[in-house]
Structure 1
């Protein structure tokens, strides 16, 4: 029987030489694989009090929207700077080469709301940490973080766990 990682293709040398890109679009394109992934992310949260699902741009929107639908809760996009139309708050974070900024609408999460943060892949954890900070600045509580793929060699899981956050990943791949 196929497992989630069997639906994920690896593209060598993308976007730069030496990178093994883990492409979830093949997982999303397969109805059985996509349902399997969403069901496996949902399972640990059955019966857990969650008010919103926050998805990190861009593949986190696909996963997060499906999970929010299944949980019958709202979805909140965490987007790159300048992409949201309303009033936002911003969080800067470091990339391997340089810095980036993500934003969230300032009214997207109410104080005390419990939020599940999702994305397709956990690498260094910088984007996820920025998302956590935004949610917490609005008074939300990140009850857990969930990813399809973990790249453990890049330290993202350790980074998020050091913040006291639970990390769920459906599969992992060694190397960057």
Structure 2
């Protein structure tokens, strides 16, 4: 099964000139979603994770079912102010400003092997920030994965510079 057949391209979203790759059509097709999660599981298990970390918010849709399938823990990396209790944060640069990503204090024990997941890798800014946050709390980031990689953008290179192996199910060259 070709996973790309179940990913919809939405032109001019969220702004003119952008082609948005929408996984909601993949999620809505149970057979395709099962295949996608099976393929991701076979790749992610190679990173020997103890915990899967999903990036807010579509990364949760990838990480949570994979954690269940692989028998791993699951934690959320969220935007500032979205997690209850005490959090640890990491501020990072955007093209025009800054943003913050957080994790709940104590969510991952120091030294645990963590794989970070999202739906799509583009510039790699948020994924890199997630890696840095996880390292800040003492996690060992063994890999990263997404359903979609926009290969024409520098996301994979950013992860390579952080020494984080990367896997994806579908790569787009434009």
Q: In which range does the TM-score fall when normalised by the shorter chain?
A: over 0.9
Report deviation, 1:25.
Answer: 0.6
Q: Which stretch shows the higher mean deviation, 96-105 or 43-52?
A: 43-52
Which residue does 2:83 correspond to in 1? Answer: 84
Distance 1:17 1:95 in 2: 19
Which residue does 2:126 correspond to in 1? Answer: 127
Which residue does 1:138 correspond to in 2? Answer: 137
Cα RMSD (Å): 1.2
SS in 1 for 2:36: helix
Per-residue CA shift, 1:122-156, capped at 9, x if unaligned?
Answer: 00001001111111111110111000000111100
Which residue does 2:154 correspond to in 1? Answer: 155
Distance 1:12 1:156 in 2: 21
Unaligned runs of 5+ in 2: none
Distance 2:131 2:119 in 1: 16
Distance 1:112 1:98 in 2: 32
Distance 2:133 2:83 in 1: 14
Report deviation, 1:107.
Answer: 0.6
SS in 1 for 2:31: helix
1:75 aligns with 2:69: no
Which residue does 2:62 correspond to in 1? Answer: 63
Report deviation, 1:94.
Answer: 2.1
Q: Which stretch shows the higher mean deviation, 18-27 or 35-44?
A: 35-44
Per-residue CA shift, 1:65-90, capped at 9, x if unaligned?
Answer: 00000111111000000000011111
Distance 1:45 1:77 in 2: 17
TM-score with structure 2 setting the length:
0.96
Distance 2:87 2:158 in 1: 25
How has the CA–CA distance of structure 1 residues 89 and 46 changed in structure 2, closer, same or farther, with 3 Å as cutoff? closer
Report deviation, 1:48.
Answer: 5.1
May I ask how many residue pairs the two structures share in their alignment?
174
Unaligned runs of 5+ in 1: none
TM-score with structure 1 setting the length:
0.95
Distance 2:95 2:27 in 1: 27
Is this contact kept in 1: 2:47–2:115, CA < 8 A? no
Which residue does 1:51 correspond to in 2? Answer: 50
